[in-house]
Amino acid sequence: RNFPFMWDRTTTECTNNFAGHAASSENETKALIAAMDQYKAAIRMYLAVHTYGEMILWPWGYDFLHAPNAEDLQRLGEQARDALVAAGGPEYEVGNSADVLYTATGATDDYAYSLGVPYSYTIELTGGGSQGFDLPASDLPRVTSQTFELLKVFGRHAGTLSLTP
């Protein structure tokens, strides 16, 4: 939530969604911005992988606005979800970030989309453990193999997209 697209400050550092003192203030954010800016013409798809919630989310997340290619984003997200279900995984909810979850500013998927990356998603994986964010190690093989099926759908689609000249 520290990316310089529709960034907004949060009130306190002691929250799970602290966005930094300023947009792009964190070293990790700066590194990703540099890489994304340098290679944006070659980036066909961007996937931010989080835990937890069992969702596939697409832009925009900063407000209740849908990306211009919302139908394509939804369709591909549903195909990925269906592959996950076919592999024995849960049925993830697919949709616009703000509609499905809540508004969030400064997100990486919104930033990537703002650069012209046509397919940009946040994937909220299966949770577990006492707080949801700490999936037990015994669940990792199952969740990993199921998630791989979802990721293959995105990868195959990215391979069909042409690069920006």
**Residue 20 in domain:** no
pLDDT tens readout for residues 51-105: 888 999 999 887 898 999 999 999 999 999 999 999 999 999 999 988 988 777 7
**Residue 141 in domain:** yes
What is the per-residue pLDDT for 105? 72
Residue range(s) defining the domain that contains residue 116: 27-160
Question: Confidence band (pLDDT; 50, 70, 90) for 27?
Answer: low
How many domains are contained in the chain? 1
Average pLDDT score, the chain: 84
What is the per-residue pLDDT for 102? 76
**Residue 10 in domain:** no
What is the per-residue pLDDT for 7? 46
Q: Which two tokens stand for residue 56?
A: 């596939």
Residues 6+ away with beta carbon under 8 Å from 137: none
pLDDT tens readout for residues 107-159: 888 888 988 889 999 999 988 777 777 888 898 899 999 999 999 999 999 99
What is the per-residue pLDDT for 89? 94
Confidence check: pLDDT of 19 > 90 = no
User: Smallest Cα–Cα separation from 73: which of 128, 110, 36?
Assistant: 110
CATH of the domain at 123: 3.40.630.10
CA distances from 92 to 85, 117, 135, 151, 160 (A): 8, 23, 17, 13, 24
Q: Among all residues, which ones are annotated catalytic? A: 124
Residue 163 carries which DSSP code?
Answer: P
Question: Confidence band (pLDDT; 50, 70, 90) for 34?
Answer: confident
**Residue 2 in domain:** no
**Residue 132 in domain:** yes
Tell me how far apart the alpha carbons of residues 70 and 119 are, in angstroms, rounded to a whole number: 10
Tell me how far apart the alpha carbons of residues 146 and 56 are, in angstroms, rounded to a whole number: 14
